[in-house]
Structure 1
Amino acid sequence: MMTIAEIARLAGVSKATVSNVLNGRVDQVSPKTRARIERIIKEYGYVPKRAARSLKSNRTRTIALLFPHLPANLIANTFFFPGFLSGVARACEEASYQLLITTSARSCDTEFHYEALVRSRSVDGFIVSEIFVNDPRFVVLREFRIPFVSIGKPEGEDISWISWVDHNQEEVSYKAVQRLLELGHRDIVFLGLSRGRVYTMQRLAGYSKALKERGIPLREELILTEEIEKDKVAEKLGKLKEQGIAFSALFVIAESLALSALRALQDLGFRIPQDVSILGNIETDNYRFYVPQLSGIRVRTEDLGYETARLLIDLIEGKVQGPVGKYLEADFVEGCSIGPCGERR
């Protein structure tokens, strides 16, 4: 049986270097060396010794939440994950499962990282986060026939076999923008993440549908969908003001971005909601303490985490047969950050 020592010998490196690659510490290994080690691992079908511990029961009672390339500040800059992880942990505790949270050092390493975890037999299933259109991770997991659940309804070719839990992103977005339209707003900024993200694409579809029904043309200059971090929101909105681009409302798909937008607009001299309305995604109870109180779509992140993990565990234990798709309810919170379209634009 192939060992770490033999892989190291074939690759011409130390055992510590092989261990770094196997454990995802690829920032400590040159790309050329890493590629050589990964090729040998795949060629010889190496499985770590710890896999033997689970052979008798064929179950580790561990599920993995593996992020694609995870920026160091992702969790710090978003309000979604703390509640979500709390829900996942609760489901794991109830079922006596462990949760492994891991990430790829670089976006191009993600599929290899999944393969390494599957081959190690150290987990029974995966929660797939931060999904993209035609996400290649789904193909990897399907090839290995290991249970997994997607956070969010996937988009792409042949997705009917994928289990997922989500809010109906297009529908809640549509209803939220309808609320702004009812208040007389026509020039509505869409503030989100990259269009490759399924979540952004579905929210944008609801936004577009609501405008189209009212005969309002889509204005590309009002659609801000780059990978916007909190400290970039002020810059983006400031440019709109400098360029004289008219807008009377913002529809924002993440609470952290909505809070940044609220502060940025106030710094630019706008009154909320008299001059500009903000309708955001509400992921925590903190929205009640913003000034003004945030209006938006209330998504229950802890429930989403719990239901996602619970479904995965049920799939692992054969209590349900996949694929399963499940929508959770989302509520609208009126708040104080939206109002009738004002005179100032």
Structure 2
Amino acid sequence: MTNPASDGQDAARRATLSEVAERAGVSLATASRALAGTYPVAEKTKARVVEAATDLGYARGRRAGDAERRFPTVAVVAHDIRQEFLVEIVSGIEQVAAGAGHFCLVGSTGYSAETELAMLDNLVGDPAIEGVVVAGGAYDTPAYRAGMAAMARRFADRGLPLVFCGRPGLDDDSPITVVDYDRAGGAASAVGHLLSRGHRRIAFLRGPRGFSTSEGRAAGHDAALASFGVPVDERLVKTGERSRATGYQRTRELLAEEAGMTAIFAENDYMAAGCLAALREAGLSVPGDVSVIGYDDLDVSQETWPPLTTVHLPFDELGRAAARLVLAPAEPGSGRETAVFGTHLVIRESVRSLW
């Protein structure tokens, strides 16, 4: 015999925040704010949302009790928090979170998509979590896209913001807010700077194939060459990890192969620093013999000799923007679901003109 009370409990477990929002005639973000009680919502709107939640038997779970939400937290999931640019992003997130009375929880995935999804799976059910920022690039595979799209829907159903920071969206209707930067535009400006100074044999030290950051910067490199009518010479393209050691080793390979480059564009400043070391070890001067340009404008770019010309990225601003979108989620159709920051070139002493 069926227990009516049991049936009601099953229905309550099945009700989602999306259904509550639809019943109340409000957006998902407004429904979330009204039920959370931590953001200003018009009293009539709040009453309508609460009535809809009651009618549907919506159970917010452990998040419903203020006593159990004494330490509201913004979580950050990143692939390697030892990286300087991720430290800057997290710092920006912490500034905004602290200003709103929130803690900041940070976890590293070691570039593993499986670990990333496992972390998100734990966070989506944590009563203290107000939202999650996923920071840094990703390996773009079908498994990653499918897993992340499903995870995004779970976050949306619970009314939790999921924000990508420094990572492109999934190019579908997944409910993910994106705070990104023009990675291709930054690379195009770097390579264009070299081309405008007469360089045509430009070597490219790039990161792993399939990694979103590396693919975006490679697209900018290719576009800049095309705009000057210079074909991509694959013999000048060296791929590897985004590290100083890789920059050093790949530059040694270029020199051993007598590639004849007059300039080198490194995907990031770490690779550029390794490149400078290899050139110096080979007895070559920068920029006298070979010009070098980097990307990111990390501290190391000002500590090398010569100081490195590079592309500046406002990492802390990206972090602050991501945190603000966790604390005040974007309304669908508001135009705030995607924010793209620009970059600019910082001219120092590592590039010379051939004219």
TM-score, normalisation: structure 2: 0.72
CA distance in 1, matches of 2:354, 2:308: 17
Q: Residue 324 of structure 1: which of 315, 337, 342 is its match?
A: 337
Equivalent residues in 2 for 1:28-47, closer than 5 Å: none
Could you say what secondary structure the match of 1:119 adopts?
coil
Partner of 1:108: 114
Matched, 1:56 2:65: yes
Q: Deviations over 1:173-232 (max 9, x none)?
A: 112211100111112122232121211111111110111122211122222232243223
Deviates more, 1:307-316 or 1:260-269: 307-316
Matched, 1:86 2:96: no
Could you say what secondary structure the match of 1:244 adopts?
coil
CA contact (8 A) 1:153 1:325 kept: no
Compared CA separation, residues 256 and 217, structure 1 to 2 (3 A): same
Bigger radius of gyration, 1 or 2? 2
Partner of 1:337: 350
CA distance in 2, matches of 1:109, 1:285: 29
Matched, 1:309 2:315: no
Question: Which runs of 5 or more structure 1 residues have no equivalent in the other structure?
Answer: 1-50
Could you say what secondary structure the match of 2:139 adopts?
coil
Partner of 2:55: none
Deviation at 1:338, TM superposition (A): 0.5
Could you say what secondary structure the match of 1:281 adopts?
coil
Compared CA separation, residues 82 and 156, structure 1 to 2 (3 A): closer
Could you say what secondary structure the match of 2:271 adopts?
helix
Could you say what secondary structure the match of 2:345 adopts?
strand
Deviation at 1:301, TM superposition (A): 1.6
CA distance in 1, matches of 2:290, 2:272: 13
CA distance in 2, matches of 1:162, 1:153: 11
CA distance in 2, matches of 1:324, 1:64: 19
Deviation at 1:278, TM superposition (A): 1.0
Could you say what secondary structure the match of 1:315 adopts?
coil
CA contact (8 A) 2:93 2:320 kept: yes
CA distance in 2, matches of 1:226, 1:291: 23
Deviation at 1:330, TM superposition (A): 2.1
Partner of 2:151: 141
CA distance in 1, matches of 2:339, 2:260: 39
How high is the sequence identity, in percent, across the aligned residues? 25
TM-score, normalisation: structure 1: 0.74
Deviates more, 1:104-113 or 1:123-132: 104-113
Partner of 2:126: 120
Partner of 2:258: 244
Compared CA separation, residues 171 and 159, structure 1 to 2 (3 A): farther
Deviation at 1:315, TM superposition (A): 0.8
Compared CA separation, residues 252 and 232, structure 1 to 2 (3 A): closer
Could you say what secondary structure the match of 1:335 adopts?
coil
Aligned residues: CA RMSD: 2.7
Could you say what secondary structure the match of 2:272 adopts?
helix
CA distance in 1, matches of 2:229, 2:332: 48
Aligned length: 285
Partner of 1:276: 290
Deviation at 1:52, TM superposition (A): 6.5
Question: Which runs of 5 or more structure 2 residues have no equivalent in the other structure?
Answer: 1-59
Partner of 2:44: none
Deviation at 1:150, TM superposition (A): 0.8
CA distance in 1, matches of 2:115, 2:339: 30
CA distance in 2, matches of 1:287, 1:154: 26
CA distance in 2, matches of 1:319, 1:99: 26
Q: Deviations over 1:127-181 (max 9, x none)?
A: 1123333643531332211311111352554167532112211112112211100
CA distance in 1, matches of 2:337, 2:320: 15
Q: Residue 309 of structure 2: which of 295, 299, 303 is its match?
A: 295
